[in-house]
A and B are shown apart, each in its own frame.
Chain A
Amino acid sequence: MIHFPKDLYTDIRIETVYKTMILIENFQLKQKKVKEEKGAMIRIYDGSRWYYSATTDISALQAEVDKLAEMAKPNPFINSDPIVKKFEVNKEAMLKYQDSNVSKISAGEKQSLLDTYVPVVKEFPQIKMSRIYYLDKYTEKQIISSKGTDVKFDSQYCCITVRYRMQEGDTPHNGSRDIYEMEFKDLANRQDEIRAEINKDLQYCTKAVPVKPGVYTCVLSPVVTGVFAHESFGHKSESDFMVGDETMKREWQNGKVVGSQNLNIVDTGLIEGAGYVPFDDEGTKARTNYIVKNGVLTGRQHSCNTAMAIDEGLTGNARAVSFEYEPIVRMTTTYIEAGTQTMEELVSSIEEGIYIDSIKHGSGMTTFTIAPNRAYMIRNGRIAEPVRISVITGNVMKTLHEIDGFSNEVELFSFPLGGCGKMEQFPLSVGFGGPYIRVNGINVQ
């Protein structure tokens, strides 16, 4: 039981993280880690400044709270402070993964499962180096505050991840495939997915030629669409850049037309996967937020501080990479909604264009960039020869108007390794996805 300091706002986020990582590197066991880490982030606010402390000594939380409080100036009117008034008070336990908790499964059983994936990689002599991982993570968070919040919830994932480097001819090629699930039982017997991905990469790397740089109409696969949504507009809708900036507040008023009329972009912490955040790291409950609806700016992501500063509602987007960091405005699961066409219909009208099938990474500011891993020319309405591309780019605000086709089914993705980076906080688990989309005027290098 924590005694909160008088005349200050205080909240505490306690995280208990159970993780497994088994790595078979070049067919030899290299790492087998099972660990539980526990830490806490304490935040104190006196109405003019925040004070944070990250600690691993959970047994001495009260002392840490008291020490941090000494830095702040007690404020008898703290409960009337607009930020403090903005905080939701939630009291709820949402422990969803108790029955399927991966921490209850033995490391031996996990390794046995991983071993079943090794023969698939061995089938391919072109693979010169490989890393085959079993990864899981069960996280339990508790957030309590001096305003009365007391929420406890969990999240988890487990996955098989295969990373490989193959060589056919002069040029090496890196490939990967993730099988990402919420429950251990769903990871079995998925070898065909790995095999299919490796075959795709082999076909690609034996025939790929350098692209002719230029401006093309591109069709993006669902995973690329997801990264595009995240990088092109997701980061633009993180509202912290608007605080205290009148120009940005004017520029980003809700109601502004920002994209083609069929464009809908959603961010929500409610979907299971890497972006599942039933409560954000300030204890705000998740909801579904339309950032763009029918091409019109309709919302943005907020922490309590930014929601107060811009006078908008909370969205559940205050997130930290771990207890070592303070929550800042971050995405959860961000995706573009489906349209009505098929992938084939999107491609069929393109005389010369490019299909981006998979990616290495992306980034986004005024200009977004995506570094493709596999890409193919589109010629006369059909997917043609594979091409090597360094990067595709475009101006965010122009490109969103250039999307003129959406396929009829959304796929969502979670990556177990890597994630979203915002300044020093990397990698944050996020979900993303969308349909196949067709975008005109993309600069291809």
Chain B
Amino acid sequence: MAVIRELYQHTLRETSLNITNSAIDSVMKKTIRKSGCRVYSDGFIGVAGTFGDPGEKTWAEAEERLKNRIPYAFEPEKNKRRTRDLRKLNISDEEFIRESEDLLRILKKEHPDFIFSHKIKICETEISLKNDAGLDYVNLDKTVEFVLLVKHKDSVNIIDSGLLRQGREFEKQELIEDARIFLEAFKIEASLPQDGKVPVIIEKDMLLSKISESLNSEQIGFGTSLFCDKINKKVFNQNLNIIQDRTGEEYHTPFFDTEGITRDGDVCYLIRNGIIEKAYTDKSNASRFSMPLTGSASGDYDDVPSLSNIRLSVVPGSKTLKELVNGVPSILVVMASGGDYTASGDFATPVQMSYLTDGERILGRLPEFYISGNLYDIFGDDFIGMSCDKPFMGERALVVKMNMNS
């Protein structure tokens, strides 16, 4: 096989405002480019990395590392070109600082009992994979991220709540509206629903971690996954669809994996209508275990592409949060830190901060409590749905029933 050179680059341009005591105390600017030079030859791969653009020295290092004889039995992708530019935001640093100062002024004025801290930042990323066999993929994205930690002035907690929002536009007005809804509700002490199973609206990654671990093709192939004997079987709720999502719905996620594999529509179904359809794979594991290639390779900029647990998404259904909850008092989890699954799929976590909601209004702040459930229940009979709307903080709402105890 002829020597093929491939360049994987990740560039981050960031302007970030640190907020302390409800005011901007610092401005951070960074531009960091990281380049991974890959050389493929005779079934082996050599990789070398550098900050900035690579010179011949880095390419020579990559070629030298072919001598390590790290096997890579696959041809790099060839003759494919695509650029996806998801950037919308056009705001100067001066305007960004001015608008953020104005936002903080409004928050302080409208919510004098609260202290706001942490960050507002603009991140612009450019991720590219190019080789001399005609592959030329570029993904560009730019987002504004509000991560405002909120503390009541009389509280002895380090953090009481958070105002979190990420988008491709400067959603100042939306954040002001979030603050009105949540901080007014914060002052109302609501009562917990009775112990037992209740609808919980919760950040998806926390609950999907076990599914991601168990859908890893390497774990299935070596027989150490909970799902080893469940491929092509219906084990979850009929309405549950889980995908690897590389569409514009995800921020700063390129449409290609680190081996240059793409999927039609930038989506790959792994669980469809409750049936586990396939494991996620990179080229090596797809080949080793004769599984479909899903384009799930990852790795640092200067790694040999490899497989690790991926971020999954639940496909939204046709109902709004209001329709999913259907008037039943439900818990919107804002902070649930430290929970985990056991090896057999039992999940538990304390919920440090949450609100009571009817799916439309935020009714009040709840005290601390615990939630728990088993994987097959949470995404089986207790799965209620993923909302089609984004009712709170610009996010869709995952609703499941979980055991609650105070």
Contact = CB atoms under 8 A, between A and B. Distances in A.
Interface in B181-220: 218-219
A248 B21 CA distance: 12
Contacts of A369: 337-339, 349-350
Interface string A165-185: 111001111100000000000
Contact of A236 (B26, B52, B158): B158
A426 to B, nearest CB: 14
Nearest to B33: A56
B277 interface: no
Interface of chain A: mostly helix, strand, loop or mixed: strand
A19 to B, nearest CB: 10
A445 B370 contact: yes
Given A28-B71, A326-B28, A369-B339, A243 B226 contact: no
A93 interface: no
Interface stretch (B146-154, B234-242, B380-388): B146-154
Contacts of B343: 171-174, 205, 388
Interface string A245-272: 1111001000000000000000000000
Interface in B25-43: 25-33
A324 B224 CA distance: 38
B122 interface: no
Contacts of B349: 369, 390-391
Given A32-B70, A173-B343, A243 B337 contact: no
B350 A326 contact: no
B14 to A, nearest CB: 9
Contacts of A244: 20-21, 115
A363 B339 CA distance: 9
A334 to B, nearest CB: 17
A330 B368 CA distance: 26
B20 A243 contact: yes
Contact of B348 (A54, A166, A391): A391
Contacts of B156: 247-248, 251
Contact of B32 (A54, A68, A166, A210): A54
A150 B172 CA distance: 43
B225 interface: yes
B26 A52 contact: yes
A431 B190 CA distance: 41
A386 to B, nearest CB: 12
B18 interface: yes
A54 B115 contact: no
Contacts of B372: 213, 390, 445
Contacts of A210: 342, 344, 346
* B interface, size bucket: 35 or more
Interface string A363-383: 111111111000000000000
Contact of A172 (B48, B49, B219, B303): B219
Contacts of A205: 343
Interface string B336-369: 0111111110111110100000000000000010
Interface in B279-324: 302-304, 306
A363 B51 contact: no
A140 to B, nearest CB: 16
Nearest to B12: A324
A352 B182 CA distance: 43
Nearest to A56: B51
Contact of B225 (A28, A35, A172, A390): A172
B342 A388 contact: yes
Given A29-B69, A32-B70, A390-B346, A365 B341 contact: no
Given A39-B51, A210-B346, A245-B153, A172 B339 contact: no
A128 interface: yes
A86 interface: no
Nearest to A166: B224
Contacts of A25: 306
A138 to B, nearest CB: 17
Given A167-B223, A369-B337, A423-B118, A326 B348 contact: no
A365 B24 CA distance: 24
B222 A360 contact: no
B29 to A, nearest CB: 5
Contacts of B168: none
Contact of B304 (A30, A51, A360, A388): A30
A365 B336 CA distance: 10
A443 interface: yes
Contacts of A30: 70, 304, 306
Task: Specify which of A205, A370, A371 lies most central, judged by the most chain B CB atoms within 10 Å of its CB.
Answer: A371
B342 A324 contact: no
Contacts of A370: 338
Contacts of A251: 156
A236 B158 CA distance: 8
Nearest to B351: A367
Contact of A165 (B159, B219, B304, B337): B219
Interface string B118-145: 1100000000000000000000000000
A49 interface: yes
Contact of A365 (B47, B158, B223, B340): B158
B79 interface: no
B347 A390 contact: yes
Contact of A367 (B52, B151, B154, B352): B352
Contacts of A247: 153-156
B252 interface: no
Given A243-B21, A388-B342, A49 B32 contact: no
B51 A38 contact: yes
B28 A54 contact: yes
Nearest to A67: B29
Contacts of B92: none
B65 interface: yes
Contact of A366 (B70, B157, B342): B157
A445 B350 CA distance: 9
Interface string A3-33: 0000000000000000000000110111111
Interface in A42-60: 49-57
A362 B28 contact: no
A100 B65 CA distance: 25
A171 to B, nearest CB: 5
B151 A245 contact: yes
A28 B285 CA distance: 13
A172 B226 contact: yes
B245 to A, nearest CB: 22
B68 interface: yes
Contacts of A248: 156
A32 B66 CA distance: 10
Interface string A430-441: 000000000000
Given A165-B222, A368-B338, A369-B350, 19 more contacts: A32-B65, A50-B18, A50-B27, A52-B29, A54-B28, A56-B32, A129-B224, A171-B343, A172-B219, A236-B158, A243-B20, A247-B156, A365-B159, A365-B337, A366-B157, A369-B337, A370-B338, A389-B342, A423-B147
Pick the 5 closest A-B CB pairs, nearest first.
A369-B338, A244-B21, A50-B26, A445-B348, A363-B338
20 contacts: A32-B70, A33-B47, A37-B51, A50-B25, A50-B26, A128-B224, A129-B218, A129-B224, A172-B225, A210-B342, A213-B372, A235-B158, A243-B21, A251-B156, A326-B26, A390-B341, A390-B346, A390-B349, A391-B350, A445-B372
